[in-house]
Amino acid sequence: MGGFSGGATVGVDLGSHSIKVCEISGAKGKYKLDKFAVIPLSEAAIIEDEFQKPEEIIESLLSALKSAGIKSKSLNVGLYGQNTMTKRMSVPEGSKEEIQDHIMWESEQYIPFGADESEIDFHIIGDTEGGGKDVIVVAARTELVERFQDIVKEAKLQIKFVDLNILALSNLFEMTLLHANPELDEGTIIIDYGAQNIKILIYRNGGPIFTKELVGGGSFITEEIQRQMAVSYEEAEDLKTTLDDNGNLPEEVLGIIQSQLQGQISELKKNLNFYISAGSAEQVTNLYLTGGCSQLSILVEMLSETTGLEVNIFNPFDNGVKFGSNALSDNASQIAAIGCVAMGLGIR
């Protein structure tokens, strides 16, 4: 769950919309993004966590590494989707082996896809008030782990670490924003609004207390623009992001985006209600947004209105990550929006 000091490491985010790769060096509070590249994927190349077009994915991964100038063949790769889970829990005091035995014994009760078919790991956050240990447990279906390993092996590359994207996001938050602003430990919501899923992370008292991945994101908006306006997927993507001379989207496009976002944010709000209600003991007061959709100003406005919280953009470059070249710093806002998971994997 921490970062290494010294040499550079490579993070790879195999997203449904694009592949992001980065190389990061340094240590907590003093990271440097040395290399970064993003290569878009065609429509439906990856659906949820299934590789529908493996040859394209391999070619795009190699192209991204080449474009970034990354020579290392050892990668940190993140998993995501319904076949992964995290759980924060308290366990009795004991050795690491005893804690592991306790977690494995209880795992069948809380892993929805079955403990026998899963890879399970844990991290000790600290002591509990009752004398036990506070831990974060992570699990991924073995089949999913093997699927990601195979795609990397077919590209003639190696996996150094397999992590979860949601925890990569947590690590980056911990090593940058939280390091610079310790008060955020009192309760912070981080939302990664991507192409096909929305990751929710609530961080409090030294680690995640809640994580959730919802179906939704920018691709669903693009598909609705495509359907209603009878254009290609690529044309719909351009319509979604291209502003007129006054900095506004066309009214028809804006209406479609708002309609799609209303449904997605409504579902998101259901999952956040407990944590943003005045009577909750776990109440949080900070909200940070990242992901490709964070560049849609209408999303920021709608999230703020729905949650009643000020929405801040999660920008690691304001809080501990420097650029290794001017070429990268020229694209700071885009990298901050789409590169947080890859950077979180890079500091692994």
171-219 confidence digits (pLDDT tens): 999 999 999 999 999 999 999 999 999 999 999 999 999 999 999 999 9
Q: What is the DSSP string of 233-269?
A: HHHHHHHHH---TTS---HHHHHHHHHHHHHHHHHHH
Q: Would residue 158 count as lying in a domain?
A: yes
The structure tokens listed for 89 are 């829990």
Q: Would residue 2 count as lying in a domain?
A: no
Structural domain range at position 247: 9-346
Find where tokens 């044309």 sit: 235
For the chain, the domain total comes to: 1
Kindly report, residue by residue over 94-144, the tens digit of the pLDDT: 999 999 999 999 988 999 999 999 999 999 999 998 889 999 999 999 999
Q: Identify the pLDDT of residue 101.
A: 94
Q: Identify the pLDDT of residue 241.
A: 87
Q: Would residue 79 count as lying in a domain?
A: yes
Q: Would residue 100 count as lying in a domain?
A: yes
Q: Would residue 3 count as lying in a domain?
A: no
- Measured in whole angstroms, the distance separating CA 42 from the mean position of its chain's CA atoms is 20
Q: Would residue 4 count as lying in a domain?
A: no
| Average of per-residue pLDDT across 313-317 | 96
Instruction: Give me the helix-helix angle, 54-68 and 142-154, nearest 10°.
Output: 60
- pLDDT for residue 2 is more than 50: no
Q: Would residue 1 count as lying in a domain?
A: no
**Calpha distance 314→333 (Å, rounded):** 10
**Calpha distance 263→137 (Å, rounded):** 31
Kindly report, residue by residue over 41-77, the tens digit of the pLDDT: 998 899 888 999 999 999 999 999 999 999 999 999 9
Residue 262 sits in a domain whose CATH number is 3.30.420.40
Determine phi and psi for 129, rounding to 5 degrees. -65, -30
Q: Would residue 101 count as lying in a domain?
A: yes
